[in-house]
């Protein structure tokens, strides 16, 4: 399996240095790699890319739901949504900390997000138009996030895998709160049920895109799986997500917007239509429905907070200069 994986990336065991071979041995034995230990430069860079993008996704991911905090239908729903959005901020912070252990600063990661050099998940470039979208985001988006993140609890980099353990616990609560909203809407008035169906129609394919391009087009999967930075391919996780979610949609009495969706007895899973990959790549290029708005909101928040960061640094410097020097 390993030889087959690295072949597609053009690296073979013969091209590896003794350190790289020893490192791969540790990965193959499921040992965790810790921050100060030797690692190949490519491993470090891939982790910074993936963990950094994951952190940015959690932070930008607050915006579509933040949009509904002031319009939640009841006080209870408002409290739950506030807690969920705050959790996403916390996830972003754990993940930035994990990335920092690889020698990149948080300022640099944010600078790269704001300049468009680093990505965040495509899903957050879609709008949340009705309250039912709060249900669909929790159910589908957090559901897809968990499907991807549960295996990442076993990822080879220690700080990332430990961050994932806590994050997954919170994401499970998020997924359930989303499904609870969908149950309420789907069993409510005909107008509410229609809103729930509309949210599913709009968010189904963008949720499938969260798993990344199909395996044949995934540029990083082979090497990332050899290094156990990724534990599954994009298509494997997408299939598992569809198999888990379709019965949940049926229970709600809603229809997945895919005329070709069909149970395949032989493979023990659903056959389903691929998302529109042209749309996916357009969103990645910055041309999705909300890319400009989302990035604009993050850049504005950064710029508006400059005075506060400056004040904190000035205060810390002043305090340090007043610290008494220890007597000789």
Q: Of the candidates 9, 68, 72, which has an alpha carbon nearest to the alpha carbon of residue 43?
A: 9
Please list the residues that pair with 270 across neighbouring strands: 263
Q: How many CA atoms lie within 13 Å of 14's alpha carbon, on the beta-carbon side? A: 2
- Least Å distance, CB 318 to ligand FAQ, is 38
For residues 170, 176, 179, 181, the Cα torsion angle rounded to the nearest 10 degrees is -80
Burial annotation 11-43 (CB, 10 A radius, 16+ → b, else e): beeeeeeeebeebbeebeeeebbeeeeebbeeb
Considering beta carbons, is residue 23 or 241 the nearer one to ligand FAQ? 241
3-class state of residue 33 by DSSP: strand
Minimum gap (Å) between residue 123 Cβ and ligand FAQ: 6
Q: Which two tokens mark 181?
A: 């909203």
The SS3 assignment for 34 reads: coil
* Cβ-based nearer residue to ligand FAQ, 24 or 148: 148
For ligand FAQ, the nearest residue by Cβ is 61
Binding footprint of ligand FAQ on the chain (CB under 6 A):
49-50, 53-54, 57-58, 61, 88, 119, 121-122, 137, 141-142, 145, 148, 209-213, 218-221, 224, 230, 234, 284
Question: Least distance (Å) from ligand FAQ to the CB of residue 106?
Answer: 17
Q: How far is the CB of 196 from ligand FAQ (least distance, A)?
A: 18
Q: Which is nearer to ligand FAQ, 40 or 188 (CB)?
A: 40
Nearer to ligand FAQ, 88 or 100 (CB): 88
**Between 57 and 130, whose beta carbon lies closer to ligand FAQ?**
57
Q: Nearest distance from residue 200's CB to ligand FAQ, in Å?
A: 16
């Amino acid at each position: 399996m390993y030889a087959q994986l690295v072949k597609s990336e053009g690296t073979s065991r013969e091209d590896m240095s003794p350190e790289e071979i020893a490192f791969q041995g540790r990965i193959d034995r499921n040992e965790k790699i810790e921050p100060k230990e030797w690692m190949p430069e490519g491993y470090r860079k891939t982790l910074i890319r993936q963990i950094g993008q994951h952190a940015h996704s959690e932070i930008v991911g607050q915006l579509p739901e933040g949009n509904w905090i002031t319009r939640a239908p009841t006080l209870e729903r408002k409290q739950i949504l506030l807690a969920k959005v705050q959790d996403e901020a916390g996830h972003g912070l754990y993940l930035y900390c994990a990335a920092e252990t690889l020698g990149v600063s948080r300022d640099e990661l944010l600078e790269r997000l704001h300049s468009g050099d680093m990505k965040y998940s495509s899903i957050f470039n879609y709008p949340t138009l009705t309250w039912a979208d709060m249900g669909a985001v929790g159910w589908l988006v957090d559901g897809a996030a968990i499907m991807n993140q549960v295996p990442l609890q076993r990822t080879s980099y220690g700080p990332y895998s430990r961050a994932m353990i806590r994050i997954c616990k919170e994401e499970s609560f998020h997924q359930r709160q989303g499904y609870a909203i969908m149950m309420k809407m789907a069993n409510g008035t005909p107008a509410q049920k229609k809103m729930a169906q509309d949210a599913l129609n709009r968010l189904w394919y963008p949720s499938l895109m969260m798993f990344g391009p199909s395996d044949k087009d995934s540029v990083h999967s082979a090497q990332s799986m050899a290094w156990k930075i990724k534990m599954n391919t994009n298509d494997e996780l997408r299939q598992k997500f569809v198999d888990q979610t379709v019965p949940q949609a049926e229970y709600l009495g809603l229809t997945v917007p895919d005329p070709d969706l069909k149970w395949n007895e032989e493979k023990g899973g659903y056959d389903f239509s691929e998302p529109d990959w042209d749309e996916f790549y357009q969103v990645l290029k910055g041309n999705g429905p909300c890319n400009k708005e989302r990035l604009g909101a993050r850049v504005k928040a950064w710029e508006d907070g400059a005075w506060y960061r400056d004040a904190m640094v000035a205060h810390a410097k002043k305090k340090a200069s007043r610290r008494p020097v220890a007597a000789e």
